[in-house]
Amino acid sequence: MFVTFEGVDGSGKTTIMEALACELRAQGHKVCATREPGGSALGKSLRELLLHTETKITKRAELLLFLADRAEHVATVIKPALAAGQVVLCDRYIDSTLCYQGYGRGLELNELRFLNSVATANLFPDLTLVLDVPIEIGLKRALSRADSSNTCRFEQEALQFHAKVRQGYLEEAAISPRFRVVDASQAFSQVLASCRAHLLSHLASC
Ligand SMILES: Nc1ncnc2c1ncn2[C@@H]1O[C@H](COP(=O)(O)OP(=O)(O)O)[C@@H](O)[C@H]1O
Ligand SMILES: [Mg+2]
């Protein structure tokens, strides 16, 4: 089973995913918890470039770097883990490209859908949890993180950019049955309970 976690910065993806990975492992599941960008060996260098370079990157070059990260990640980490019967939990995946490079930066959505299918060799998630939060709350949480001094290029974007990204997630979720939207403005324990319920009901149906 392949589950992805999506949402704006500070929505709680990383924290929720770590908690769910622990719970699943405690229940005896083999879990591969990974992330984009940066889930593969090559990806570690690409992550640094994509999130922290001071060099200006044009939006198409940025897109292709994210897709290179994804292609390597799918081939060397996600597919082998799925083939070994593991539950794969991935912090950001194809929908981040649609929402940040498409809804956010204005690249053409159908081109991005096609390029995502090229990068992943058509590996789509079974379930995608969108942690939906007003962007002001998300950005405030991101700033309260322990490593908040290490802000990334995306966190420095204008509020309007993040608002378009959030709207993108909601629009994508409305047109595909693999999404579940969780109200991530709630207390952590409630967000975790909603995500757990979606995950377990999906696992039970497999
Ligand atoms: N529901 C919540 N309520 C309050 N704080 C939260 C909640 N979920 C996560 N946080 C905190 O907000 C910060 C950002 O969460 P994080 O998981 O890093 O978000 P993301 O990975 O989506 O950017 C962290 O310090 C985390 O502990
Ligand atoms: Mg995170």
Choosing from 141, 151, 194, 196 the residue with most ligand 1 atoms within 8 A of its CB, the one to mutate for a pocket test is 141
* Strand pairing category for 179-183 and 31-35: unpaired
| Amino acid letter for position 199 | L
DSSP state of 86: P
pTM of the model: 0.97
- Looking at the CA of 148, which ligand is closest? 1
Q: Name the nearest CA neighbour of 2 among 41, 25, 28, 33.
A: 33
CA distances from 5 to 59, 107, 125, 181 (A): 23, 22, 10, 10
Confidence of residue 1 (pLDDT cuts 50, 70, 90): very high
Average pLDDT, the chain: 96
Q: Is the CB of 194 under 6 A from ligand 1?
A: no
CB 109 within 8 A of CB 33: no
CA max distance for the chain = 47
pLDDT at 137 over 90: yes
Measure the CA–CA gap between 38 and 45, rounded to whole angstroms.
7
Residue 178 Cβ inside 6 Å of ligand 1? The answer reads no
Say yes or no: CB of residue 31 within 6 Å of ligand 1: no
- CA 38 / ligand 1 centre spacing (Å): 20
**Among 88-92, 155-159, 171-175, 176-180, the least confident range:** 155-159
* 153 vs 195: CA distance, rounded Å: 28
Query: What is the residue type of 37?
Result: P
Mean pLDDT, to the nearest integer, of 190-205? 96
Atom of ligand 1 nearest to the CA of 11: 22
**Class of domain 2-205 as given by CATH:** alpha beta
Q: Residue 156 has what pLDDT?
A: 87
The contacts of residue 172 (CB under 8 Å, 6+ apart) are: 95, 98, 99, 179
Q: Could you tell me the two tokens for 174?
A: 């409305």
Would the CB of 151 count as within 6 Å of ligand 1? Answer: no
Domain map (residue ranges) of the chain: 2-205
Nearest atom (ligand 1) to Cα of 7 = 22
Q: In which band, very low, low, confident or very high, does the pLDDT at 139 lie, cut at 50, 70 and 90?
A: very high
Round to whole Å and give the CA distance between 155 and 51: 9
Calpha distance 73→70 (Å, rounded): 5
pLDDT at position 206 is 80
Is 9 close to ligand 1, i.e. is its CB under 6 Å away? yes
- Asked whether the CA dihedral 26, 27, 30, 35 is positive or negative, the reply is negative
β-strand partners of 91? 5, 35
